[in-house]
Structure formats: structure tokens, C-alpha cells
Amino acid sequence: MALLIFAMTLLAGCSNDDGAGKGHNAHAKQQADSSAPAAQLIPIQVDLTVPETVTANKEVTIIARVTQKEAAVDDAKVVFEWWLDGEEHQRNEGKWGEDGKYEFTHTFDKPGAYTVISHVDARDLHSMPKKQFKVK
């Protein structure tokens, strides 16, 4: 008797009639749709610029210029992360200027080897170029 109930349940689940069949077909269509290739994302480019000469106790501006297909991106979120080798990392939000430029102005008080990374989020993409520089 239990075997008969099991067999009926199994057959009902695989029915091709209008009721259960629609659910299965809809599920198959959903799987096919979800396997379609995602829309291609157009990469962003970030040009991170640090002045050639950085002197301790003098203000300096570091710039990240964000573009996409050579056009300026003016809706990015940019955070500059920087540190003196061997010390804690600091973060400063980039301020939007113009023409896709985001700036961070700072006075480095200690000479030494520094690293800066610009964390850029724009149009569902993330880029984080890194540069090393010396403060004299």
C-alpha cells in the first residue's frame, strides 16, 4: 500500500497536465534566462597621480582621474588609503574636482617611503591603483 502511494505521488509530481507542467516549464525557463550572458560591463580607468617631489611639512595634492571609454566619470566614490612604511594606514575621502578628477590634499609630516591606493567605486565596478612615493 505504501509503495502504491509513493508511486502515485511520484507520477503526480512529473505530470504534463496544465497544472504541474506550467510550474516545471516556468522553472526551466527561469533557469535558461539566468544562464544568459550578463550585460558586459565597460571597465573604468583610474590614473593615480602623485607629484614627483613631495617634501615633508608641505601641502601636496594627490589626484585620481576616473574615466570610462575616455569620458570623465563624475559619479564615482573615491577613498585614498595611504601609509608610511611600517605605520598604520590612514583613509581620506577624495573630493570631486572637475573632468573626472578626485583629489586628496595632505601635509606629510615625516620623511620616508609611502604608499597610496585610490579605492574607486563607479558604475558597479571597483578599481584600486597603487603608487609608492618618497617624502623628503
Whether pTM > 0.85 for this model: the answer is: no
Out of 6-15, 35-44, 68-77, 110-119, which region has the weakest mean confidence (pLDDT)? 6-15
CATH number at residue 129: 2.60.40.730
Positive or negative, the CA dihedral 85, 82, 130, 40 is: positive
Compute, in degrees rounded to 10, the torsion defined by CA atoms 64, 68, 72, 78: -30
60 assigned to some structural domain: yes
Compute, in degrees rounded to 10, the torsion defined by CA atoms 20, 24, 27, 32: -150
Task: Tell me if 100 sits within 8 A of 46, measured CB to CB.
Answer: no
Q: What does the pLDDT read at residue 136?
A: 96
| Domain total of the chain | 2
Backbone angles phi, psi at 104, to 5 degrees: -140, 120
Q: What does the pLDDT read at residue 39?
A: 52
How far is 24 from 108, CA to CA, in rounded Å? 64
Q: What is the pLDDT of residues 32-89, one digit of tens each?
A: 444 434 457 899 999 999 999 999 999 999 999 999 999 999 999 999 999 999 999 9
109 assigned to some structural domain: yes
Does residue 116 surpass a pLDDT of 70?
A: yes
117 assigned to some structural domain: yes
24 confidence band (pLDDT: 50, 70, 90) = very low
Residues 50 and 78 in one domain: yes
